[in-house]
Amino acid sequence: MSLIHTENLTKIYGSGETAVTALDHVSIKVKEGEFVAVMGPSGCGKSTLLHLLGGLDSSSAGKVVIDGTSLAEMKDDDLTKLRRQKIGFVFQFYNLIPVLTAVENASLPITLDGVRPAEARKRAAEWLERFELGERLNNRPDQLSGGQQQRVAVARALVAEPALILADEPTGNLDTRSGDEIASLLREVTKKYGRTVIMVTHDPRIAAYADRIIFLKDGKVIDETILEKKNGKNADLLAGKMKEIGD
């Protein structure tokens, strides 16, 4: 059974002559526990797709269904609640609150959900320890490296135990090594902790960590590839594909 699926999802920015179609009748399905990468050249609509999946933006036509509920019919407060409880986000620029410590940042979603601070802290600390940040619980973001900050962000995405993690270019701001770390961390999230991850990236090496790749171009799904083995060759394969569709 699919955790999340879209039906003819369409997003048009602007109107009249200046209208731009960012997504054009996209229908995809993602199963529980799957690690899906969305790839495509700049402006193909991959980020827009992610925003619509997360209920951050509203669609022009079509719908997004999570766990049998269509997002289009939800009010802002309900959407907020859905994001808080069912979806975790990882952004390119980490987006940690600069004035809060690592553990405070990681515990934000459940604190917002009304979990008692001591309990929230405990749960956030557990995730940070799993991600080898046990020593840095009380450091502020500016005292952490980029890779460490992104790991805090992943911990934050997982702390509320959501079924779905949406990652928008999670390695875009990192060096190669840290990027690999984060990508394998996300893989671990699906395999070890059973979460579903949808990740947008344009980096074939990072996408190669996923189970399945969805290729987007000009707002349309043009190809899908299921990766059997996670090795270096996959990356070459994907790079070739990207070149093919005109990156």
Partner 1 sequence: MKLQLTLAWRYLKGRKLRSFLTTLAVVFGVLIIFGMNIILPTMLAAFNANMLAAAGAVDATISHQTGGSFPPEVADGLADIDGVRAITISLNRVVNLPTDFVDDNPAITDRISAVTLIGIDPETARSLRIYQIQEGGRFLEPGDTAVTVISQSLADAYRVGLGDRIALPSVSGVVDLTVVGILPTRTVPGNEEVLVTLPQAQTMTGQEGQITAIDIALDTTDETERAAILAEIESAAGDSYTIGSLQPGSEMFASLQMGQIAMNMFGVLALFMGGFIIFNTFRTVVAERRRDIGMLRAIGANRRTITAIVLIEGLLQGVIGSGIGLVLGYWMGAGIVRLAEAPMNIFLNIRMGNPVVSPTLIATSLLLGVGVTVLAGLIPAQNAARVTPMDALRPTVAEMETRHRMGAGAIAGIVMIAVAIMALLTGETSFIALGSLLFLIGLILVAPLLLHPIAYAFGKLTALLYARQGIGDLAHGNLTRQPSRVVITASATMIGLAIVVALGGMTSSLSDMLNSTVRSSLGSDYLLIPPSISVWSGDMGSGPELTERLQAIDGVGDISTLRFAVTAINGQSISLIGINPETYPRVSGLDFLEGDETAYEALAEGRAMIVNGSFTIALAGLEVGDTVELATPGGDQTYTIVAVGSDLLNAKVVTAYISQANLAADFNRTDDVFIQFNLLPGVELESVDSQIKEVAANYPQFTVLAGRGYIDQMLELVKVLFLGMYFLLAFLALPSLIAMVNTLAISVIERTREIGMLRAVGATRKQVRRMVVAEALLLAAVGTAFGILAGMYLGYVIVKAMGVMFPISYMFPLGGILGGIAIGLIFGALAAIIPARQAARLQVVEALRYE
**Dist. CA 189–CA 28, nearest whole Å:** 21
Q: Where does this chain touch partner 1 (CB under 8 A) — which range of 9-17, 65-73, 75-83, 202-210?
A: 75-83
**Dist. CA 105–CA 86, nearest whole Å:** 18
**Dist. CA 193–CA 130, nearest whole Å:** 11
Residue 73 lies near partner 1 (rule: CB under 8 A): no
Q: How far is CA 58 from CA 51, 62, 89, 108, 162, in A?
A: 8, 10, 17, 25, 21
Is the CB of 164 or the CB of 208 nearer to partner 1? 164
Least distance in angstroms from the C-beta of 204 to partner 1:
22
Residue 54 lies near partner 1 (rule: CB under 8 A): yes
Least distance in angstroms from the C-beta of 170 to partner 1:
12
Judged by CB under 8 A, how many residues of this single chain contact partner 1?
Answer: 33
Least distance in angstroms from the C-beta of 116 to partner 1:
9
Going through the chain in order, the beta strands assigned E by DSSP cover 2-13, 20-26, 29-31, 35-39, 61-66, 69-70, 87-90, 164-168, 196-200, 212-217, 220-226
Is the CB of 1 or the CB of 118 nearer to partner 1? 118
**Dist. CA 27–CA 10, nearest whole Å:** 9
* Joined tokens for residue 209: 């960590």
119-178 binders of partner 1 (CB under 8 A): 156-157, 160, 168
Binding mask 77-116 for partner 1 (x = CB under 8 A): x--xx-xxx--xx-xxx-x-xxxx---x---xx-xxx---
Q: Where does this chain touch partner 1 (CB under 8 A) — which range of 47-55, 65-73, 214-222, 238-246?
A: 47-55
Residue type at 5?
H
Is the CB of 68 or the CB of 98 nearer to partner 1? 98
Residue 76 lies near partner 1 (rule: CB under 8 A): yes
- Is residue 162 within 8 A of residue 189, CB to CB? The reply is no
Is the CB of 118 or the CB of 226 nearer to partner 1? 118
Identify the H or E element spanning 178: helix 176-191
Is the CB of 63 or the CB of 84 nearer to partner 1? 84
**Dist. CA 99–CA 105, nearest whole Å:** 9
Q: Which residues bind partner 1 (CB under 8 A)?
A: 47, 51, 54, 56-57, 76-77, 80-81, 83-85, 88-89, 91-93, 95, 97-100, 104, 108-109, 111-113, 117, 156-157, 160, 168
